[in-house]
Amino acid sequence: MPGAAAFETHHLPRHSDLKTFLREEWEAGFLDECDANDLLTLFHTWQVADTILDNGDLGKCLSAIKARGPIMPWKTDLYFPEC
């Protein structure tokens, strides 16, 4: 089931609107289950991490990745709809 359909089927019936869903699911989940220091470490990593270590050559950097992973659609992705 695509992301949007799953959200509508499983989450919306329990919440009156998106704002309520975000407050009760996301905010409550982060407050109850996440340590603030873990989140600060994640934010710091996102801000300072430089993935282009090959003299600014993004193509060379990406081609060095050997991990296998799924390829996801971009234009038809319903999880992150266009704004």
Kindly report, residue by residue over 10-28, the tens digit of the pLDDT: 656 677 788 887 888 778 7
CB 9 within 8 A of CB 1: yes
- Give the per-residue pLDDT at 21: 79
What is the SS3 assignment for 10? helix
- Give the per-residue pLDDT at 13: 67
Q: What percent of the chain has pLDDT over 70?
A: 67
Q: Where are the domains of the chain?
A: 9-63
Give the position of tokens 């003299």: 55
Calculate the average pLDDT of the chain: 76
> How confident is the model over 55-65, as pLDDT tens digits?
778 888 888 88
Query: How far is it, in rounded angstroms, from Cα 47 to Cα 30?
Result: 20
